[in-house]
Amino acid sequence: MALSEQQIQDCLMQLVRDRGPEKTICPSEVARALSADDWRSLMPQVRTVGMALAQAGAIAVTQKGQVVDPQTAKGPIRYRLLHHEQTDRRAQS
């Protein structure tokens, strides 16, 4: 299944916004939301988009509850909305 980076980014951002700034999501939640049957093949793309969003300051990448550098993180990671992103979203509403 071919998905654009924008589709993945939109899904990831919607999921972290829905979860809220104090909670995290797993990258597999994004992949499963986009393709329930073929989610595993989307994982590299999801992680790449997540890394770009973290580098842009839109989300934080965490491991064991601690913010980590997405470029050096190994193993399971999670995504969390940054507080300023949630505040910006409320201001636009």
CA 70 from centre of chain: 11
The residue among 91, 89, 86 whose CA lies nearest residue 22 is: 86
Per-residue pLDDT band for 4 (boundaries 50, 70, 90) equals very high
- Say what the pLDDT of residue 2 is: 79
In which domain, by residue range, is 83 found?
5-92
61: domain CATH number is 1.10.10.10
Tens-digit pLDDT profile for residues 22-56? 899 999 999 999 999 999 999 999 999 999 999 99
Both tokens of 90, joined, read 């409320």
CA distance 57 to 76: 20
79 backbone dihedrals φ, ψ, rounded to 5°: -115, 140
pLDDT tops 50 at residue 87: no
- Please state the domain count of the chain: 1
